[in-house]
Amino acid sequence: MNKESEHCEKCLYWKPDDRKATPHMGSCSSEKWEEGDDDIPDGVSYADYEGYMAMFKTGQYFGCIHFEVKP
């Protein structure tokens, strides 16, 4: 597959935001996204140290090494 088309909008793990204000944003369900202070050499770790809910959204044209084509 062409690297230029390996964007979130075409990825198995990405779900677009259902909010009308941000339809170009979405969430990734890849196991490589971990909440906490973990050491993930090929992933992303995010945390909220104030006790609130942490969110991580990506744009439809973001892409990563864990891209898999939607069926």
Burial class (CB in 10 A: 0-12, 13-18, 19+), 6: middle
pLDDT digits (tens, 9 = 90+) for 30-59: 988 877 767 778 888 777 777 777 778 899
Given a cut of 80, is residue 64 above it in pLDDT?
yes
Could you tell me the residue ranges of all domains in the chain? Answer: 3-59
Given a cut of 90, is residue 60 above it in pLDDT?
yes
pTM over 0.85, yes/no: no
What is the reported pLDDT for 1?
45
What is the reported pLDDT for 4?
57
Return the closest-CA partner of residue 28 out of 9, 2, 47, 42: 9
What's the mean pLDDT in 3-24?
87
Tell me whether strands 58-59 and 25-28 are parallel, antiparallel or unpaired: antiparallel
